[in-house]
Structure 1
Amino acid sequence: MWRTGHEVGARFGYLAQGFYNEDDFDADGNVRADLPQPQGKKYPGDIKFADLNGDNIIDNDDQTKIGNPKRPAYTFGLNLGGEYKGFFASMNWTGVAQCDIEMANAYKRPFYEGQVLYQYMADGRWTPETAATAVYPRLSVTSSTNQETSSVWLKDASYIKLKNLTIGYNITQQKILKAIGASKLTVQFTGYNLLTFDKLKVFDPEGELTRDTNTYPIMKIFSLGVNVTF
Structure 2
Amino acid sequence: EITSSMQQSEASNNILSWESIKMTNIGLDVNLLNNRLSLTADYFIKNTDDILLKVKLPDVLGVSEPYQNAGKVQNKGWEIALAWQDKIGKDFTYGVNVTFSDVKNKVVSVGNTADDFSSDRIRAVGYPIDAFWGYKSDGLYTVDDFDYDIATNTYTPKATTPIIEEYRTKVQPGDIKYVDIDGDGKITPTEDRCYIGSAIPRYNYTIGLNAAWRGIDFSLFLQGVGKCDGYIGGMGRHAFTELANYPQKAHLDRWTWENQNPHASYPRFTYDETYNRDEFSSFWLEDASYLRVKNLQVGYTVPRKGIISKMHIENLRIYFSGENLWTFTDFFSSYDPEIPVSSGGYYPITASYSLGLSITFK
- Calculate the TM-score normalised by the size of structure 2: 0.57
- Partner Cα distance (2:305, 2:237) in 1: 62
- Partner Cα distance (2:289, 2:342) in 1: 19
- Partner Cα distance (2:240, 2:163) in 1: 29
Q: Which residue of 2 aligns with 1:160?
A: 291
Partner SS for 1:30: strand
Contact 1:127 1:138 in 2 (8 A): yes
Partner SS for 2:157: coil
Do structure 1's residue 13 and structure 2's residue 139 form an aligned pair?
no
Deviation at 1:91, TM superposition (A): 1.7
Contact 1:207 1:217 in 2 (8 A): no
Pick aligned residue for 1:55 from 181, 184, 208: 184
- Return 184-193 or 165-174, whichever deviates more: 165-174
- Partner Cα distance (2:339, 2:237) in 1: 14
1:144-166 Cα offsets, whole Å, 9 max, x none, are 22123211111111112221111
- Return 10-19 or 162-171, whichever deviates more: 10-19
Matches within 5 A, 1:1-230: 3-26=124-147, 27=149, 29-38=155-164, 39-40=166-167, 41-60=170-189, 61-67=191-197, 69-132=198-261, 133-140=263-270, 142-147=272-277, 148-172=279-303, 174-177=305-308, 182-200=313-331, 202-208=333-339, 210-212=341-343, 214-230=345-361
Bigger proportion of residues as strand: 2
Partner SS for 2:160: coil
- Return 207-216 or 161-170, whichever deviates more: 207-216
- Partner Cα distance (2:138, 2:332) in 1: 23
Deviation at 1:31, TM superposition (A): 2.1
Bigger proportion of residues as helix: 1
1:89-125 Cα offsets, whole Å, 9 max, x none, are 2221111122110121224323243223532332211
The residue type equivalent to 2:235 in the other structure is: A
Partner SS for 2:249: helix
Partner SS for 1:174: coil
Larger relative contact order (C-alpha < 8 A, sep ≥ 6)? 1
- Partner Cα distance (1:125, 1:25) in 2: 20
Partner SS for 1:66: strand
- Return 146-155 or 136-145, whichever deviates more: 136-145
Deviation at 1:62, TM superposition (A): 0.8
- Give the superposed CA RMSD: 2.5
Contact 2:207 2:222 in 1 (8 A): yes
> Larger Rg: 1 or 2?
2
Contact 1:198 1:205 in 2 (8 A): no
Contact 1:92 1:163 in 2 (8 A): yes
Kindly tell me the number of residue pairs found equivalent between the two proteins: 229
Cα 1:62/1:80, change in 2 over 3 Å: same
In the alignment, structure 2 segments of 5+ residues that lack a partner are: 1-113, 116-123
The residue type equivalent to 2:322 in the other structure is: G
Cα 1:141/1:186, change in 2 over 3 Å: farther
Report sequence identity in percent: 33
- Partner Cα distance (2:136, 2:249) in 1: 21
- Partner Cα distance (1:104, 1:185) in 2: 51
- Partner Cα distance (1:30, 1:179) in 2: 90
